[in-house]
Every structure is written in structure tokens, then in C-alpha cells.
Amino acid sequence: MGLKIAVIGGASSYTPELFAGLLQPVSRLAVDEVALLDLDPARLDLVAGVSRRLVESAGRGLRIRTTLAPDEALEGADFVILQIRVGGSLARIRDETLPMRFGMVGNETTGPGGFMCALRTVPVALAYAQALERLAPRACLLNLTNPAGIVTEALLNHSSLRTIGFCNIPINLVTGLAEALDVSIDRVRIEYFGLNHLGWVPRAYLDGQEVLRRLLAEARNREATLYRRGLVDALVDPDWLQILGMVPNWYCRYFYYPEQVLEEDRLSPQTDGQRDIAADEQLRAIYQRTGYDQQAREILAAKGGAQYYEPVLQVIEAIVHDTGALVVADVRNGEALPELPPGSCVEVPARFRRESTEPVPVGPMPITVRGLVQAVKAYEELAIEAALTGDPGIAIAALVAHPLCGSYAKAKAFLDCAFEDEQALLPVFAARCAGAGPKAAI
């Protein structure tokens, strides 16, 4: 009997990429059914139609079911992919624009904007987890929902489900290195450590031989391979790259160059969320006209979500076939990063087996990044507590702890405005103010 995969947020414009991956000739996954769950029936029908065309053109008997009912989607699932955005693109735009009014960078995954995204999302993610515990308690929950590290840690520590989180940045770095070295991706491996959207590559290997030292030594200006291939963001000064001795992932730009990022964003005619809305309009037209084609793939890649499902499918295959494959993912720390609590969610390579997730010990973090990672992890722990309790004081403490805020005055002023804007999407805070206990509805 084949697998059942459920996708919460199945109307995402990225969902056809999941089917493209499942239908690859190299795939060893026998999937009978994919259930797509969403709150938007029109978008769900469109995405399901595109996906069915992919399945039919591949001559596969894979069933695609669409539903607005969580119980129908989740019951009997073996794997559940969580890919939701609570409040939609308009909430994302607020996350990007409101912090700028207070002199802080705006983003839906980090800083004050990422914090509001976490407050909206954690209770809803946990409500889905509670439903899954009831309907398919042995299912594996695969989280793609931002802010991925916070949401995954909340699920790991407040549900009984086996939960794994994912980011496409590590796999994109591997792909970029393979292209830079003009070799196939299976010959390249990276070491990686950190948190979601705050990670570094200290070493990289080609056929088992370390190659990153040479590439870093050559990166004395922005004409070097690491810059030209987009493996290092253009904002990163070559001198700072040499001091680090590691490749920082793209999101590190927010922490190393917040003033420059803020100025860029203020001068930009659109936020990422606004560009995302425009891209989705283009994709809707393409899906209606021709389906999931090369133009659609290019638009999805430009949105920043390319290859998201590749590590997800690698992990599913590793669990189903008990291979112990090594994949960079968001997992419980254990002893991987000894300077962080064992129950923390970290982004490191892990071995995946049928019954276990085994993070690879990384060892002590370099002192150049240790304090930054610890500060952001303290913020993440406080953010989860705030999301679960609806305590405004904990919310302020979380933002003050974040390196991209760091000021009580800014945190208080920002949250006063943000809570007014987001009150309809923050039932936990509303319930506390009304004297009731926290409650989240699917």
C-alpha cells in the first residue's frame, strides 16, 4: 500500500513543484494519494488542476484530493507538509513595512516583522498539530511555514508529533557550489550550522576533498567566484568574509548590514510581499493557460522558494526506506550545538531513519558568531512563550532580546501599533485581554 501525503496550505503557488518532484524518474516513493487542504477553494481548484495535469502527463495513478476540511485531509496521513501564511500576503506586507517606521528592518521571518508572523502562526500551527495527533498520531509533520525555526521549535516542544523543519537555503548553496565548480550536485557536500535564516558554511567538499578554503582565499573582491555565483551576498564586505572564514547564508545580511538593508528597502518601490502578489498573479495566468511550465519555474525561483521540496522529499525517502541519509534541516538540537539548550531547534545536518532523527554533532560554534546565535535563540524562546501565553510583557522582552531591535522604547512603540493592526489575527492575546485562556482555531 502506498503513502498518503497531506499538504496544509495546498493552494500555494509552489505546490506543483511538489508533484514535479514526486514524479521524477529517480523517485523511490510509492505515493497513492496527496490531499490538498486550504481555506481558499478557488485557488485550491486551480493548483490542483495544474498538479493533476502533471500527474496525467507522467502516466501515474497518483490521486489528488482537495478539501476544505482538516479531518478529511489529515486522517490516515503518513506525512503532512505544513505551508501556511496566517493573514496571507497582506499580513506579510505589514510585517515588512511597519518596522521601517521605527527604524528597523522589515521581514516576515526575522526581526520585528518575523516576530509578528510568529505570534500569528504558532497557535494555528499547534492547532493543526493537535488535530493530527488525533487523526494520524504516527504521521511525520514537515514544516515549511515561516518563521520556520520558531514554528518548528514550538511543534517539537508542544506536540507529540515527529516534526522536521526545512529551508531551501542549504540546498541552494549546494546547488550553487556544484554549478560554480561545474560538477554534478551529488559530488558536493557542505558542513552547515546555525538557526533557520541565521547559518554558516564553514567547509565544503568535492568528492570528499575540502574546496571552500580555496574559494574563500580567492574572494578578495566581489569579482570572485563566491560573489559572482551568488553564494555570498553582495553586501558582505570581502574583508569581513575573510575574518569570518565561512560563507554566511543570505539572511545574515540583516544582522551584519541592517542600516544598508533598511535603506535599500526604503528606496525600493515594492516590498517582497508586494512583489510576491504580482508574481502570484502571473503564475495564476500561466497555470490557467499552460500549466506548470518553464516560465512558471523561473517565476517561482525568483520568488525565493526554489528547491523547497527537494530536502523534504529526501527526508521522506530516507524515513520510508530507513537509509540514514544526511540532510540539512531544522531539528531538535540535542548535542549538535553544545552552547544551545538540547530542546532548541537548530539548522544542521541530520541523519534520518525510519524511527529516528539524529543531528550530527557540530561542536563549539566559532566565537565570531556564537553570541549572535545565542541572542537570537533567546529571542526565539521568548517569542514562542509570547505566542502561547498572549503575555504582552513577554512579547516586549522577546523583541528587546532580538539584535535587530534591542531597545525597549522601539519594542514598545512598535508593538503598540502592531497589536492594533493584528488584533483580529491574535486570538491568544485577545483571549488574555478578555480574561480567557489561550485558544487557537483552525
Q: What is the pLDDT of residues 72-81, one digit of tens each?
A: 999 999 999 9
In a domain, 390, yes or no: yes
Answer with the one of 136, 165, 194 that is the final residue of a domain.
Answer: 165
- Tell me what the pLDDT averaged over the chain comes to: 95
Model confidence band, residue 440 (pLDDT cutoffs 50, 70, 90)? very low
Residue 182, pLDDT score? 96
In a domain, 424, yes or no: yes
Q: What is the set of active-site residues?
A: 251
In a domain, 82, yes or no: yes
Give me the number of domains the chain comprises.
2
Whole-angstrom CA distances from 105 to 153, 172, 197, 234, 271 are 24, 24, 15, 18, 12
Whole-angstrom CA distances from 88 to 108, 277, 425 are 11, 10, 11
Whole-angstrom CA distances from 410 to 148, 191, 263, 398, 421 are 25, 37, 18, 12, 17
Is there a contact between 188 and 178 (Cβ–Cβ < 8 Å)? yes
Answer with the one of 134, 165, 196 that is the final residue of a domain.
Answer: 165
In a domain, 415, yes or no: yes
Model confidence band, residue 422 (pLDDT cutoffs 50, 70, 90)? very high
In a domain, 23, yes or no: yes
pLDDT at 27 over 90: no
Overall average pLDDT of the 205-217 stretch: 98
Q: What is the pLDDT of residues 29-66, one digit of tens each?
A: 999 999 999 999 999 999 999 999 999 999 998 999 99
What CATH number does the domain containing 65 carry?
A: 3.40.50.720
In a domain, 352, yes or no: no
In a domain, 262, yes or no: no
pLDDT at 437 over 70: no
Q: What is the pLDDT of residues 334-386, one digit of tens each?
A: 999 999 999 999 999 999 999 999 999 999 999 999 999 999 999 999 999 99
Domain coverage including residue 405: 376-432
In a domain, 293, yes or no: no
Answer with the one of 118, 149, 165 that is the final residue of a domain.
Answer: 165
Residue 434, pLDDT score? 55
Residue 433, pLDDT score? 62
Is there a contact between 138 and 372 (Cβ–Cβ < 8 Å)? no
Overall average pLDDT of the 248-274 stretch: 97
Measured CA to CA, the distance from residue 1 to residue 113 in angstroms comes to 44
In Å, how far from its chain's centre is CA 251? Answer: 12
